[in-house]
């Protein structure tokens, strides 16, 4: 892969991450779907991975490789959160820890600075209508897993 193609791919991945956050904001503000604490943690994962994909695209060499590993770690944490969210949705008797987790998520600085983006006030176990056959947490799990795999593959490649 040429350096220009690699840079374009990293920018595309960054735009994808930010675009998925934009979809979440659309669902929240236009469709009126209140985000739960686990949803907000997944937003952090997409935004964090997007920032490091962008930084990896701007810088080359070892710095870009390090940025890809950080993207993989952040997206991997998002995978864990999304997997937990899917589990909670399919096991309604399980709580997502709405008291403890919600208090933690809502006390983070971004929730104070941008409450319209990072403030949680929904229920994790809420059954929402599927989008192309999958629930929102399942889509999140799928995309975060893809981001982890791409990050790892790109970090192993020279270029």
Q: Is the dihedral of CA 129, 132, 136, 141 positive or negative?
A: positive
| Confidence (pTM) | 0.91
The 10s digit of each residue's pLDDT in 88-143 is: 888 877 766 556 788 889 999 999 999 999 998 888 777 788 889 999 999 999 99
The string of pLDDT tens digits covering residues 39-54 is 999 999 999 999 999 9
The SS3 of residue 130 is: coil
Q: List Cα–Cα distances, 141 to 2, 28, 83, 144, in angstroms.
A: 30, 18, 6, 5
Quote the CA–CA distance of 77 and 73 in Å, as a whole number. Answer: 6
Superfamily of domain 3-156: DsbB-like (1.20.1550.10)
Left (φ > 0), alpha (ψ -120 to 50) or beta: where does 135 sit?
A: beta
């Amino acid at each position: 892969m040429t350096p220009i193609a690699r840079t374009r791919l990293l920018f595309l991945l960054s735009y994808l991450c930010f675009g998925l956050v934009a979809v979440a904001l659309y669902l929240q503000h236009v469709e009126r779907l209140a985000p739960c604490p686990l949803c907000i943690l997944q937003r952090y994962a997409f935004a964090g991975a997007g920032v490091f994909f962008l930084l990896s695209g701007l810088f080359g060499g070892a710095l870009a490789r390090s940025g890809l590993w950080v993207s993989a770690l952040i997206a991997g944490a998002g995978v864990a959160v999304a997997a937990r969210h899917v589990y909670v949705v399919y096991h309604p008797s399980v709580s997502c820890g709405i008291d403890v987790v919600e208090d933690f998520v809502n006390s983070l600085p971004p929730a104070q600075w941008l409450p319209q983006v990072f403030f949680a006030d929904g229920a994790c176990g809420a059954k929402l209508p599927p989008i192309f056959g999958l629930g929102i947490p399942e889509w999140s799990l799928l995309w975060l897993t893809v981001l982890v795999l791409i990050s790892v593959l790109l970090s192993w490649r020279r270029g």
